[in-house]
Amino acid sequence: MRTSKIKAKLRRNEAVLVTALHLNDPVVFEMASLYGFDGLWLDMEHQARSVETASQLIRAARVGTSDVMTRCAKGEFLRLGRMLEIGATGIMYPRCDDAAEAREVVRWAKFAPLGNRGIDSAGADNPYCTMPMVDYLKAANDETFIVIQVEDDGALSNVEEIAKVDGVDVIFFGPGDYSILGGFPGQWDHPKIGAAMERIAAAAKSAGKHWGMPVLNDVAFAKKVYDMGGRFMANGADQQMIRAGFEDLQKRFGPVGLAFERRV
- Is residue 150 situated within a structural domain? yes
- Is residue 82 situated within a structural domain? yes
As a whole-number percent, the residues of the chain with pLDDT over 90 amount to 98
Q: What is the mean pLDDT of residues 41-56?
A: 96
Spatial contact of 6 and 90, defined as CB atoms under 8 Å apart: yes
Give the residue numbers spanning the domain of 51. 5-237
DSSP labels, 171-196: EEE-HHHHHHHHT-TT-TT-HHHHHH
- Is residue 243 situated within a structural domain? no
Report which of 93, 38, 44 is spatially closest to residue 61, judged by C-alpha positions.
38
Query: In degrees rounded to 5, what are phi and psi of residue 261?
Result: -90, 80
Per residue in 99-121, pLDDT (tens digit) is: 999 999 999 999 999 999 999 99
- Is residue 159 situated within a structural domain? yes
Q: Could you give the number of structural domains in the chain?
A: 1
- Is residue 85 situated within a structural domain? yes
Q: What is the pLDDT of residue 164?
A: 98
User: Exposed e or buried b for every residue in 233-254, given b needs 16+ CB within 10 A?
Assistant: bbbbbbeeeeeeeeeeeeeeee
Per residue in 187-212, pLDDT (tens digit) is: 999 999 999 999 999 999 999 999 99
CATH number of the domain encompassing residue 163: 3.20.20.60
Q: What is the pLDDT of residue 1?
A: 83
Q: What is the pLDDT of residue 256?
A: 95
Residue 29: which region, alpha, beta or left (left: phi > 0; alpha: psi -120 to 50)?
A: alpha
Give the three-state DSSP class for 263: coil
Per residue in 3-34, pLDDT (tens digit) is: 999 999 999 999 999 999 999 999 999 999 99
Per residue in 211-225, pLDDT (tens digit) is: 999 999 999 999 999
- Is residue 256 situated within a structural domain? no
- Is residue 37 situated within a structural domain? yes
Per residue in 63-96, pLDDT (tens digit) is: 999 999 999 999 999 999 999 999 999 999 999 9
Predicted confidence band at 50 (pLDDT cuts at 50, 70, 90)? very high
